[in-house]
Amino acid sequence: MDGQNRTVTEKWEPAGPGKQIARRNFWAWVLHQALYRVGWQFKMEATMIAGLVSYLSSSPAIIGIFSTASSIGRCAGPFLVTPWVDRSPLKKRCVLWLWAGVVVSWGAGAVYFWLPQAEDRAAALWWFFITYSLFFTFLGCAGVAQGALLGKIIPAGRRGSALSAAHTISGPVNLLAILGVYSLLRSGAFPTPRNYAFSFTVTTFLFVLSGLAIVRAHEKPSDCRDGSAGLRARLRYARKMVDTNRDYRILLLIQILLGFGGGALSFYTAYGKQVGSIHDSNVLLATFLQVLFQSSAAAFLGRVADRRGNRAVIRSLLWVEAMTPVSTVLTATLFPGTPAYLLVYCMVGLRFPVFDVITNYLLEIVPQEDHALALGTANTILLVTVGSPLILGMIAGYAGYPVIMLTAAAILCAAAIAAFYLGEPRARASATTRL
């Protein structure tokens, strides 16, 4: 009887050579993710990208254009690359080729700012816009292949631990990286834009190491579906998958609501500055707190997901996500002009692990042969949320920041409520095993 009430949480511990392969795959994936996350800190959107774009152009709208381009690239590409991933018996090859695109596109942007031509700000802006857009397109496509590979080489009961280990390794390094980037921008060791070139070069180097790490993964060739079907056929199959898989359908809804509600994130700092709580002197501290809580939470929640299931973690994090914009209004109203507003960024840090956990949940509710298509569809459908910051910005212009924060909170509450309708795939697997 006791076994009937337990969720399947057994860890995959094969004996003999299988155990060595499992361990190698686990650490290859962990290092791949950890090095990628550290590299990201040297190109942080809030500091490095915003700073460089502001240097290249005096128009604030340009920053919004860059943000929109990155979102479109990240969402539009994945669905188109799914046929190739589907028909490949080795998903690692797809990851490596697409990751090469990530490295080359970002590296091309980094190298340009070492050249004398970078002094022409208009030309530099155009070049960086092109490479930046290509980078996010390749990154979105690589995400599909990465998810398909993750679903093959690491079992469900170990994916949370992999997430936890990646953040445990990268977390302390990320905090040091933030201090390093801040010091670089303030030191004058490299004149602008060479300081950005140096930081982006570090990113490129770490991305290269991240790609080399995944080379160590051992993957057995698998049966794969025919990837020659046209776009219309893939759309029909994706529609069928949405119609027949209730959990997948709910998960897509949650992602869309997260996308719309997450648009408020762009205005947290602006709201804090308006009430006198955020200054140039404490922006670094805000970023530091965000990364600290992001890494700590992910390191803890990954193991919880392995023990209790990804669904339980998704439900908890979505309520935190919904309460974050509410906390901005409360702290701004009750404690205006005080550092209390910085606590908001602790909650912001809890936003990002939810996307990793959602991916892990998706890999459990969809058959392995459909992983690439399911991931591609989930990413592409987020195109409908690209305009969320623009819409919320227009509302803010008429009604103020508190209104858009509470609007975002209502949308995110809907996502949290939807999560209670998700099924537990491990419980179903346990029931199937007993039968």
> For residue range 245-257, what is the model confidence (pLDDT) as tens digits?
999 999 999 999 9
Residue 416 covered by a domain: yes
**Token duo for residue 67:** 């943000």
66 pLDDT tier (thresholds 50, 70, 90): confident
* Confidence grade of residue 283 (pLDDT, cut at 50, 70, 90): confident
Q: Which residue has better confidence, 131 or 428?
A: 131
Helices (DSSP H) in 335-400: which residue ranges? 343-349, 353-365, 371-380, 388-399
Verify that 109 and 203 share a domain, yes or no. yes
Rounded Cα distance, 245 and 237, in Å:
12
Helix axes 401-419, 310-334, angle to 10 degrees: 160
Mean of pLDDT values over 217-238? 76
- Tell whether 31 and 174 lie within a shared domain: yes
Last residue of a domain, one of 176, 193, 217: 217
Residue 21 maps to a domain: yes
If asked whether residues 242 and 185 sit together in one domain, one would say no
- 208 and 281 in a single domain? The answer is no
Q: Where residue 2 falls among pLDDT bands split at 50, 70, 90?
A: very low
The mean pLDDT of 422-434, rounded to a whole number, is: 66
DSSP string, 44-69: -IIIIIHHHHHHH-S-HHHHHHHHHH
Read off the pLDDT of residues 158-195 as tens digits, 9 standing for 90 and up.
Answer: 999 998 899 889 888 888 888 887 777 777 778 888 98
Asked if residue 434 is part of any domain, the answer here is no
Does some domain include residue 406?
yes
Residue 110 corresponds to which tokens in the numbers above? 């980094």
Please tell me the predicted confidence (pLDDT) of residue 222.
75
pLDDT at residue number 224: 63
Mean pLDDT computed over every residue of the chain:
86
Highest mean pLDDT among 53-57, 86-90, 121-125, 297-301 belongs to 121-125
**361-370: pLDDT as tens digits:** 999 999 988 8
Amino acid letter, residue 102: V
Same domain? 184 vs 40: yes
Higher pLDDT, 124 or 263: 124
How does DSSP assign 242-305, residue by residue?
Answer: HHH-HHHHHHHHHHHHHHHHGGGGGGHHHHHHHTT---TTTHHHHHHHHHHHHHHHHHHHHHHH
pLDDT at 96: 97
Same domain for 209 and 144?
Answer: yes
Number of domains comprising the chain: 2
pLDDT at 15 over 50: no
Q: What is the dihedral of CA 85, 90, 95, 101, to 10 degrees?
A: -80
Instruction: Quote the domain boundaries for residue 73.
Output: 15-217
For residue 298, being part of any structural domain is answered with yes
Same domain, yes or no, for 103 and 37?
A: yes
- 260 shares a domain with 213: no
Contact 310, 357 (CB under 8 A): yes
pLDDT of residue 60: 64
In CATH, what number is assigned to the domain containing residue 384?
1.20.1250.20
The two three-digit tokens of residue 338, written as one number: 């005080």
In terms of pLDDT, which residue wins out, 109 or 294?
A: 109
205, 20 Cβ separation under 8 angstroms: no
Q: Is residue 26 part of a domain?
A: yes
Q: What is the per-residue DSSP string for 119-182?
A: GSHHHHHHHHHHHHHHHHHHHHHHHHHHHHHHHHHS-HHHHHHHHHHHHHHHHHHHHHHHHHHH
State the Cα–Cα distance between residues 44 and 338, nearest whole angstrom.
26
Q: Supply 396's token pair.
A: 């803010």
* Residue of 292 and 139 predicted with greater confidence: 139
Does residue 358 surpass a pLDDT of 80? yes
The top-scoring range by mean pLDDT among 175-184, 216-225, 316-325 is 316-325
Contact 419/314 with Cβ under 8 angstroms?
yes
Q: Residue 193, preceding bond cis, omega within 30 degrees?
A: yes
Q: How many Å apart are CA 178 and CA 187, to the nearest integer?
A: 14
Q: Which of 158, 190, 217 is the last residue of a domain?
A: 217
Amino acid at 401: Y
Q: Which of 162, 183, 217 is at the close of a domain? A: 217
Same domain, residue pair 62 and 202? yes
Among 162, 130, 165, residue whose Cα is nearest residue 146: 162
Q: What is the mean pLDDT of residues 195-222?
A: 93
Residues 61 and 118 in one domain: yes
The pLDDT value recorded for residue 393 is: 79
What does the alpha-carbon distance between residue 249 and residue 423 come to, in Å, rounded to a whole number?
A: 11
Q: How far apart are CA 128 and CA 62, in angstroms?
A: 12
Question: Quick check: is 243 in a domain?
Answer: yes
**pTM across the whole model:** 0.84
On whether both 250 and 213 belong to a single domain, the answer is no
Q: Verify that 245 and 327 share a domain, yes or no.
A: yes
Q: For residue 94, is it within any domain?
A: yes
